[in-house]
Structure 1
């Protein structure tokens, strides 16, 4: 303890008796983040354990304020060099297990840095499994919900089914164009802010400003909820984008139907326009839900969104038959049921997020609109390029005749459905890489990158084998028409052989999003889309439907190649892959267990008051 006093780590700390009771009260004036408190507690316990002459002092307990970020990083007592350090909870009533709580002044800008290994990242494989499995199920829920809605509408008649199909296609195109960029950006930005918060780094730009509790009463809400500008910015942008989408779809329903080739004289016109106008009212809930899911992915939590989305869609299971058939509302009832489930999902997600983070922005100037708009604009062009290429492929397939179009649709749906597995893996990799990259933990980024690529290649090869063996029987679930099935069987090679390519292409997207390399992702996709579109314009006229499938395979192959080449650019964000990054550990004083270089580390200034 003498060494601690000499280094002014705990000036004024009174001697305690053998039970660890402190003789003088001390008061918190300014409270830092819990990770700083935990590292401080670890440093003190290690220092005390090295002094054999004062064994009685080892029982002294320095309370640690528990917060959400602390529980995310450490789930219990931790041990260093065989010395267990119990994580204690600070009770606001001023007592802890009969011991008067020490109250001290803490200055967040000056603190003792414990060993760098205090925050241990988990095993890459385990983290990927924990993140990817709920993500796979969550991504499958929305298509299943749309299939259920289609089934109920199909019972009303072919006109209603066709009307709903056209309207849903328009809604999905508009939603995907604007919502996917926001989702991808939110995941990366929130993961970066969380990492910087946990490690106690100073954050600028779109980072986190550490909250100052000086002269304020500490409440459980202050301690447990994170204040991240990236979260507030994402939610405000989501609300604005959702409102704009709703107004555009509601007022421009007729214009969009004209663009889709549904004339005024068509029997589908009125039900399509009514259905699209009603579904437009759910656009704000859809965009906000996706933004919140991106926030939770940044938290490395895919279970909570799965639960909320599942409960929201479960409500549609009960509402659809009641409104469509019991109340005989038809297409209108189906739209109302879907809208209700969307708002239920949004409410559950916001309610869950409110327990972990501050939703409303602390200050307007803390928001990160610049970063979101810049990156979002780039990804908007990227998403538009993907939509144009895929739509062009469908258009060229339709020119081959109804049988060829039906076969193409079956192949395309299976092709996209099995890609959900790779896409979920890519989303999980994005969250892990963004977290480690923000902490400049390049060795861990390397480990994640190599493991995810190997896993993606294995999954792609496995899917290729399964589809090649079973695709003929699988196609019979969609149609019994012999002519369509014959054409479908010729597409087995397209669907199965392209799976390894698809898997790696999706994973490369997640990797580049993880390091916030949005500009390269957008520009490369635009070039890839342009080349693939040129091929699709001419190849089908020569090779027929095989030309369409070849064009889509070329599209995914070029995406994969662009992602692969970026990893070997020495001037890009992946420069560290070409170098061996040494694992450096700080040197600590043998007595005080603080870094030996005083001029490189700022220490805590702890003052005692009567």
Structure 2
């Protein structure tokens, strides 16, 4: 297009790649006159000027999707409807297939971590019950410390990388810049994320090594307990794996922003295989016991981090002095909001577990079985959420609001269908499924009585998790945090009242209320078209689309 243009225009100048490869957001002047349009002529709708260079995938300001005319919108929606291959409201068009192609590898990658934990548990369990309990306590402490910072960084990185990827694609889409299409990209968000991850990982290591005794006191493991020494040993060795874990998560966030979920799956699969092999060598043949299990896990985490960094470096520049250029302040602000949000989730879930434990060992065992199934199934919804997040961030940054709406509708529709299918499967199959974990009739009786909690909550969980991904896709972090504070406070108050009165039924009802409030808050945000949703959902009715 640029080759046939009679003269350079302001639009072309604004999108010309600078001599250096630094990525900036695209600022397109609003109300640009077309070169072939007379400035004295009255404003009227005319055919698009053929001499005006355009950038594929970027919506011009004067054609802002928030101001689309009704005929244009209906025409676009009819085109996308015609692509559907399934009857009814769920159609696997191009957008739906994009969501599934990102979500499917992500599900396997998310499931790899619980599988690796099961492998460690299997090896340590053959050492003895004391060692098994020690490993369980240490893993809980490690996850509590690391999750507080790791998950927010992962989500923020995914959104920021997707945004800068969309801007970079806009530059490279112009004719004169196609020579850069095969070169590595420079996305400042990647450098900033990895720098933050390295610093946070080192702080987590120091905190876990020097604070292991204090952390054991906090969770109630006395000094004279037989679990105390092996638990501290495992936690101390495990602490050396904090830096590679968070660096790997930052790299995964970058790959997700690039909409590549297959590379993380490959890296995690190789790392878990290394972990299983080293467990078999360290735990018994070398006689390292609990320390051997920790050493095997840490080694596998370094393997995963190295593979991800190696693959990421082939796509983008990962080492650069332009850390501040990646928006360090924006990272810290957004990350701080999500850290607060994570604390609200952890406090609510911890309170529910504490109240369930007061019911006794058998009810607690049944509750734990239900809860683990409940959390494991949520991995499917997490995968849908990250697919929606990456796609929505890309289209929102390009200002392709029509396509962003389609991503929004499809991910909600697929999430609803997935949640309903899981509810039906678990309602009829949970009894047989729970027998795989225990043969104690009392525990099975408690677990089977919670089938309504596990099954009925699945559509609600799907909506809540998917909405989380949509928040992050448009960087609506403030509302995501404040709405979680509200949902956590209301649900915690309900738990404190209902659990003593109704036992496990009150605990399960409180957790369903917690997820329901999250889903309602998210759908209300979309329906009210507040914040960034005003641009995407302008002049549309969400309920009609769903």
Q: TM-score, normalised by structure 2?
A: 0.82
* 2:488 equivalent in structure 1: 529
8 Å CA contact 1:297–1:431 kept in 2: the answer is: yes
Instruction: Give deviations 1:84-138, integer Å, cap 9, x for gaps.
Output: xxxxxxxxxxxxxxxxxxxxxxxxxxx983464699x992112111100000000
Distance verdict in 2 for CA 1:578–1:303, change over 3 Å: closer
* 1:417 equivalent in structure 2: 376
* 2:472 equivalent in structure 1: 513
Q: Is 1:453 paired with 2:452?
A: no
Distance verdict in 2 for CA 1:400–1:144, change over 3 Å: same
Q: Is 1:150 paired with 2:109?
A: no
Distance across 1 between alignment mates of 2:312 and 2:116: 24
* 1:311 equivalent in structure 2: 270
Q: Is 1:397 paired with 2:368?
A: no
* 2:396 equivalent in structure 1: 437
Distance across 2 between alignment mates of 1:574 and 1:321: 52
8 Å CA contact 1:415–1:495 kept in 2: the answer is: yes
Distance across 2 between alignment mates of 1:374 and 1:523: 14
8 Å CA contact 2:283–2:292 kept in 1: the answer is: yes
8 Å CA contact 2:405–2:537 kept in 1: the answer is: no
Give the gaps of 5 or more residues in structure 1: 10-28, 36-110, 203-209, 214-218, 582-610
Distance verdict in 2 for CA 1:478–1:196, change over 3 Å: same
* 1:587 equivalent in structure 2: none
8 Å CA contact 2:357–2:363 kept in 1: the answer is: yes
Distance verdict in 2 for CA 1:30–1:258, change over 3 Å: closer
The equivalent position to 2:505 in structure 1, one of 515, 534, 546, is 546
Instruction: Give deviations 1:368-405, integer Å, cap 9, x for gaps.
Output: 21010000000000000000100100000000011100
* 1:229 equivalent in structure 2: 188
* 2:53 equivalent in structure 1: 113
Instruction: Give deviations 1:291-322, integer Å, cap 9, x for gaps.
Output: 00000000000001100111111111110010
Secondary structure at the residue paired with 2:429? helix
Distance across 2 between alignment mates of 1:452 and 1:260: 39
Distance across 2 between alignment mates of 1:6 and 1:491: 68
* 1:501 equivalent in structure 2: 460
Q: Is 1:255 paired with 2:214?
A: yes
Q: Give the deviation of 1:474 after TM superposition.
A: 0.9
Give the gaps of 5 or more residues in structure 2: 9-16, 24-50, 60-79, 81-92, 541-546
Q: Give the deviation of 1:576 after TM superposition.
A: 3.6
Distance across 2 between alignment mates of 1:552 and 1:431: 28
Q: Is 1:470 paired with 2:429?
A: yes
* 2:13 equivalent in structure 1: none
Distance verdict in 2 for CA 1:541–1:355, change over 3 Å: same
Distance verdict in 2 for CA 1:533–1:8, change over 3 Å: closer
Distance across 2 between alignment mates of 1:246 and 1:488: 37
Secondary structure at the residue paired with 1:516? coil
Distance across 1 between alignment mates of 2:503 and 2:3: 80
Distance verdict in 2 for CA 1:117–1:387, change over 3 Å: closer
Q: Give the deviation of 1:490 after TM superposition.
A: 1.0
The equivalent position to 1:136 in structure 2, one of 103, 107, 110, is 107
Instruction: Give deviations 1:46-93, integer Å, cap 9, x for gaps.
Output: xxxxxxxxxxxxxxxxxxxxxxxxxxxxxxxxxxxxxxxxxxxxxxxx
* 1:371 equivalent in structure 2: 330
Instruction: Give deviations 1:490-540, integer Å, cap 9, x for gaps.
Output: 101000000000000000000111000000000000111011111111211
8 Å CA contact 2:57–2:400 kept in 1: the answer is: no
Distance across 1 between alignment mates of 2:4 and 2:511: 70
Distance verdict in 2 for CA 1:455–1:5, change over 3 Å: closer
Distance across 1 between alignment mates of 2:246 and 2:55: 42
- The runs of 4+ residues in structure 1 deviating greater than 4 Å are 3-6, 29-33
The equivalent position to 1:160 in structure 2, one of 103, 124, 131, is 131
8 Å CA contact 2:494–2:510 kept in 1: the answer is: yes
Distance across 2 between alignment mates of 1:30 and 1:370: 25
8 Å CA contact 2:145–2:204 kept in 1: the answer is: yes
* 1:269 equivalent in structure 2: 228
Distance verdict in 2 for CA 1:328–1:443, change over 3 Å: same
8 Å CA contact 2:5–2:52 kept in 1: the answer is: no
* 1:608 equivalent in structure 2: none
Q: Is 1:170 paired with 2:174?
A: no
The equivalent position to 1:558 in structure 2, one of 491, 502, 517, is 517
Distance verdict in 2 for CA 1:381–1:8, change over 3 Å: closer
Distance across 2 between alignment mates of 1:401 and 1:30: 67
Total equivalences in the alignment: 469
Distance verdict in 2 for CA 1:321–1:5, change over 3 Å: closer
* 1:239 equivalent in structure 2: 198
Distance across 2 between alignment mates of 1:363 and 1:551: 47
Q: TM-score, normalised by structure 1?
A: 0.73
The equivalent position to 1:180 in structure 2, one of 140, 151, 171, is 151
Distance across 2 between alignment mates of 1:480 and 1:406: 12
Distance across 2 between alignment mates of 1:403 and 1:6: 76
* 2:30 equivalent in structure 1: none
Q: Give the deviation of 1:224 after TM superposition.
A: 1.2
Instruction: Give deviations 1:152-208, integer Å, cap 9, x for gaps.
Output: 000000110011110000001111111000000000000000001111299xxxxxx
Secondary structure at the residue paired with 1:318? helix
Instruction: Give deviations 1:542-592, integer Å, cap 9, x for gaps.
Output: 1011000000000000000000000022442111454348xxxxxxxxxxx
Secondary structure at the residue paired with 2:527? coil
Distance across 2 between alignment mates of 1:278 and 1:141: 21
Alignment of 1:6-85 (within 5 A): 7=6
